[in-house]
Structure 1
Amino acid sequence: MSLIDDLKQLKQSAVSRINSQDADIEQLRVKLLGKKGELTALLKGMKDVAAENRKAVGEIGNDVRQTITELLAEKKAAEAEAALSKQLEAEKIDVTMPGTKALIGQPHVLQQIIDEIEQHFLGLGFQVIDDTVDSPEVETDEYNFERENLPKDHPARDMQDTFYITPEILLRTQTSPVQSRSLEKHDFSKGPLKMIAPGKVYRRDTDDATHSHQFHQVEGMVVGENITMADLKGTLLSVMQELFGEKHQIRMRPSYFPFTEPSVEVDVSWDEVTPDTKPEDIKWIEVLGAGMTHPNVLRMDGVDPEKYSGFAFGLGPDRLAMLKYGVDDIRQFYLNDVRFLSQFNRKGN
């Protein structure tokens, strides 16, 4: 049999095999056209063909190669289309069915409380200082304690034992250092200093239902001419009513803090207070500490206490959130349990 006959027979066989239902297109491509394939093997016989017949044999060989290549491509495209149709059929979507509601995140409940506090004080003309430059969490002993009228070996330091990096560098126990840094920079010729400093603080507390070694604080200060305790009470009443409702009241009890004089503990009424509520029926719960800024604090920050006075206060967003939402364990705020955190939204529902 001549090479031409062999090529024609291969073409006929290839067409039959490619069109077979069980054909493996890739295997057939290698078997027919590969380096060791059937067509390649046949064309090696070209060396034995007479010179005058090589052109005709070459044309037939090219025709066989082209036919096989085109058929393989067509079969491969048909198989891909069939597979796609099968996939689309299996994965088809009924567009008339209700869609799945996407879960949208929300700020952490503590951040929501902080945002409420910040927005309220911004409305009162306060500035919010919470950047890492003016409000560093790694502080010096001088700004964290000494500038707050807490010299070394002061017994009140025991209540704020913290994490020391060196004897003079520590994790801040309060955001009060921001007040000192602000007082140093403030130009009183432009008016009083009114600021709040939200942020994380650290103390060596044993974690339990009401204590955490890391928690949040919003400290505030107003310093200017003729600032009085009445200004302090009015400011704190406004923010407590913003958080808990306009019918809640506050009371102030004498206390002691090294950085204020006089100092007070501030309570908020557990229930709403109406004109008919008897004083003895009001239940109070402590929420924060405050007082008139100690003259020593002003003096150490370069402010003349004979000319200027001020008040300071410290809010605990963690504690306020526990009271507002009835949370009985502060650790719930830090466990990242979405089932717990998703209960709280900006409307407080």
Structure 2
Amino acid sequence: MRPGLLRDLAAGLALLLVLLVLPFIFTKPAIRDFLIYVMAYGLLATSLNLLVGLTGLVSFGHAAYFASGAYMFGLLMQTGKVSIPVAIMATVAGTALLALVIGAICVRLKEIYFSFITLAFQMFIHSIILTWVNLTGGDQGLRGGIPRPTFLGIDLNNGMTLYIFCVVVFIICIAIMRQVWQSPFGYTLRLIRDNPTRANFIGVDIIRMKLGIFVIAGAMASVAGILLALFVSGAYPEFGFWTTSGEAIFMIMLGGSQLFIGPMIGAVLLRLLEHFVTVYTEYHGLVLGVVILAIVLGLRQGIADYIADWLERRRTTRSAATQTSVLPSKESA
């Protein structure tokens, strides 16, 4: 696995450099803000794909951990007693614990039952956000903003510094999820996805494996919520509504679920579509739905998956043609 690890590290470093350079090439603050927005939702979609694409668990309630990250972090920062790194670590740990409790119930169910119970838990958390007004601000969101005190000489009140911080956190999380994707644990999850009967027969503890990836996915989704909360300096009930989970699923459908980078591609495409459609028409929901349907029904898979399959078919065709051209020459000899 060493060559693969080195390749992933090189790709991560290249992506880091590209993201750091882009604001200096395109100097408008709107570009920087758009990238932070895409990174937050890209992390959400990529973490969900650890369940959908890697394990075959379609969760309709993944935004619960996105909202948990935003609200826990915001409330901790509003106390004024913790630094940003401590608040981030406490939030990730707290959300992982929440995912552990919810996942212990959910992963015992199969297929559509799993999907709907995750949705039920998400709506339960969304209801708590709306009704616990003294703590969460209800439908107005977390009031008072989120303080950004300086730590280790880093001042996140500066726009460029905040962007660089988000990029670094984003790359770290992507690297962690990539290693999970490529690890023996990840291949065990693929076996569970493709043939759970065989996995159980060879001694794999399916419930424990599913629970492990459920907790990891929830923890990574909380980081996405933290980044968005830092960016908008607040947390809102929409973060935990079912439509946010739907957006993450749309991103996976657009980009593809079988390649690790698929959800990130889907996040970029969906945000670009939303931006341009909103600019040119007030019926952005209708137009966006038609475009998504056209891509999904036309390609019958995500864009990244389609391109990967096309390249594989082309390579196979070339290989077959090469073998065919070699065989006659051997026979003539």
Of the two, which has the highest radius of gyration? 1
TM (normalized to structure 2)?
0.24
- TM value normalised by structure 1: 0.23
Q: Tell me which of the two structures has the higher relative contact order, counting C-alpha pairs closer than 8 angstroms and 6 or more residues apart.
A: 2
